[in-house]
């Protein structure tokens, strides 16, 4: 810890800010999301559950590539399959059989899947699903609950006078570049409230093409909630879309819908579908998906064989290794031991939620203290070789040793935090500005 520094990372970021608007391609990788000036910004390499930054520091990674890594970095089975595919070619003038093989795998894996279209990321896959729903229903408006990307259909919510995304993501999202004619076409609704959804559907009766939502993230939905959403959507002849980009195949080998036993009309996957290789998919009911054949939805790289091979191999490995069981065991132990050392330190904090994506909750009254505690946790854990937020994205490569080292680090860090809270000097312990949450998640 005494030799920890991120000087090279910060110099690289200064160069990036001169060349790249916003400094990064992904908001969730901005240094302010972590402990800016203490947390790493640039990686050099990664393997299994760990990565090494450009300053030579080694970290246990509890972010797992923003959720994209489900088997572990540089998984030997997936990477070898990709290498063999590269040797045969990655792009052709005609189609490749992997398009069919992966589609068959997805149909056999995901309850709602009868047909499949591919993409390269979650945002564009959500945009594709929305387009399909609009084409199928002949309607324009979308009700949404969650984070669904950066495209015009979604950011149109902030063309409303009440800035509809302010409480869903973060305030101040400027819809510059989004056509004003889209105002009123994207309408948020609160998670867990069937009455609110029913009211939104009634107020826009006959105009709603789709309800798109994250089924859950870190906590299970209220009993009967998702079944109720499905029933409301069906009653109004509205397409129900599950955005399973973040949950992926961690909670269940068939996705979130396999865990909650509710099948949407369409579902969207990306991130962990291919263990870090660019790939995404929209799957769903045959009658809904067939609408895509009457639309112009097309891109050269959606069917490159690297993504197809990586996804096919990853899905098979998730099932063969029983990855949901692995992350369940890791998560339950991590939550128990993190909460125990918090109690030992006298810190009002708990590690809770679903085992594949648990989160640390600070039980203090003032928002400023919660933010300071979160920043101090990220800062001090980084100095001890643990990279993360106050939530944990698990993958199958994380080990008992990783948990032991993380809990040992947390034991030291929680003592510092507890003392700072008792003495009311948390701000003085910070070596960086308070971290900025990328999104205010509507779905926990």
Strands 58-61 and 386-387: parallel
Share of the chain above pLDDT 70, in %: 95
Determine the straight-line distance between the first and last CA of the chain, rounded to whole angstroms: 33
pLDDT in tens, 155-177: 998 887 655 555 555 455 678 89
Give the pTM.
0.94
The pLDDT score that the predictor gives to residue 158 is 85
The pLDDT score that the predictor gives to residue 442 is 57
Token representation of residue 113 = 């899947």
Q: What is the 3-state secondary structure (H, E, C) of 237-300?
A: CCEEEEECCCCCCCCCCCCHHHHHCCCCCEEEECHHHCCCCCCEEEEECHHHHHHHHHCCCCCH
Q: How far apart are CA 23 and CA 31, in angstroms?
A: 9
The pLDDT score that the predictor gives to residue 348 is 97
pLDDT in tens, 9-59: 999 999 999 999 999 999 889 998 898 999 999 999 999 999 999 999 999
The pLDDT score that the predictor gives to residue 134 is 98
Q: How far apart are CA 197 and CA 236, in angstroms?
A: 11
- For residue 33, the 8-state DSSP code is G
Band the pLDDT of 3: cuts 50, 70, 90. confident
**Domains identified in the chain and CATH numbers:** 7-63+323-429 (3.90.1150.10), 76-321 (3.40.640.10)
- How high does pLDDT run on average in the chain? 94
The pLDDT score that the predictor gives to residue 13 is 96
**359: helix, coil or strand?**
strand
Beta bridge partners of 350: 361
pLDDT in tens, 244-273: 999 999 999 999 999 999 999 999 999 999
Token representation of residue 415 = 């003592």
Q: How far apart are CA 142 and CA 134, in angstroms?
A: 9
**180: helix, coil or strand?**
helix
The pLDDT score that the predictor gives to residue 215 is 97
Q: How far apart are CA 156 and CA 180, in angstroms?
A: 8
């Amino acid at each position: 810890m005494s030799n920890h520094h991120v000087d090279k990372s910060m110099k690289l970021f200064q160069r990036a800010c001169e060349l790249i608007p916003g400094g990064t391609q992904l908001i969730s990788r901005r240094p302010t999301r972590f402990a800016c000036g203490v947390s790493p910004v640039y990686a050099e390499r990664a393997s299994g559950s760990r990565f090494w930054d450009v300053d030579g520091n080694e970290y246990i990674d509890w972010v797992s590539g923003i959720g994209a890594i489900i088997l572990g970095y540089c998984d030997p089975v997936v990477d070898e399959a990709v290498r063999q595919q590269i040797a045969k070619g990655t792009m052709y003038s005609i189609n490749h059989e992997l398009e069919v093989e992966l589609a068959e795998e997805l149909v056999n894996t995901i309850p709602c899947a009868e047909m499949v279209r591919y993409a390269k990321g979650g945002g564009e896959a959500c945009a594709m699903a929305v387009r399909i729903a609009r084409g199928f229903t002949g309607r324009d408006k979308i009700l949404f609950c969650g984070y669904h990307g950066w495209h015009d259909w979604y950011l149109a919510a902030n063309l409303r006078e009440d800035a509809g995304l302010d409480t869903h993501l973060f305030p101040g999202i400027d819809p510059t570049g989004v056509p004003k004619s889209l105002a009123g076409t994207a309408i948020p609704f609160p998670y867990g409230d069937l009455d609110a959804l029913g009211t939104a559907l009634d107020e826009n009766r006959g105009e709603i093409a789709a309800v798109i939502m994250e089924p859950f993230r870190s906590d299970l939905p209220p009993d009967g909630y998702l079944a109720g959403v499905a029933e409301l959507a069906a009653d109004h002849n509205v397409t129900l879309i599950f955005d399973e980009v973040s949950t992926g195949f961690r909670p269940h080998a068939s996705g979130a819908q396999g865990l909650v036993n509710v099948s949407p009309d369409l579902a969207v996957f990306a991130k962990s579908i291919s263990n870090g290789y660019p790939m995404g998919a929209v799957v769903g009911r045959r009658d809904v998906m067939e609408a895509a054949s009457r639309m112009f939805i097309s891109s050269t790289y959606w069917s490159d064989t690297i993504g197809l091979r990586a996804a096919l191999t990853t899905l098979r490995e998730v099932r063969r290794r029983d990855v949901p069981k692995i992350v369940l065991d890791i998560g339950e132990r991590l939550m128990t031991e993190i909460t125990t050392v918090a109690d030992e330190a006298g810190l009002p904090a708990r590690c809770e939620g679903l085992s594949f994506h648990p989160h640390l909750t600070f039980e203090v009254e003032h928002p400023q203290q919660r933010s300071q505690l979160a920043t101090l946790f990220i800062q001090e854990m980084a100095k001890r070789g643990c990279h993360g937020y106050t939530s944990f994205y698990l993958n199958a490569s994380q080990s008992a040793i990783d948990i032991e080292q993380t809990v040992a680090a947390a034991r030291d860090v929680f003592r510092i935090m507890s003392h700072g809270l008792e003495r009311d000097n948390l701000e003085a312990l910070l070596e960086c500005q308070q971290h900025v949450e990328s999104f205010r998640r509507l779905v926990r």
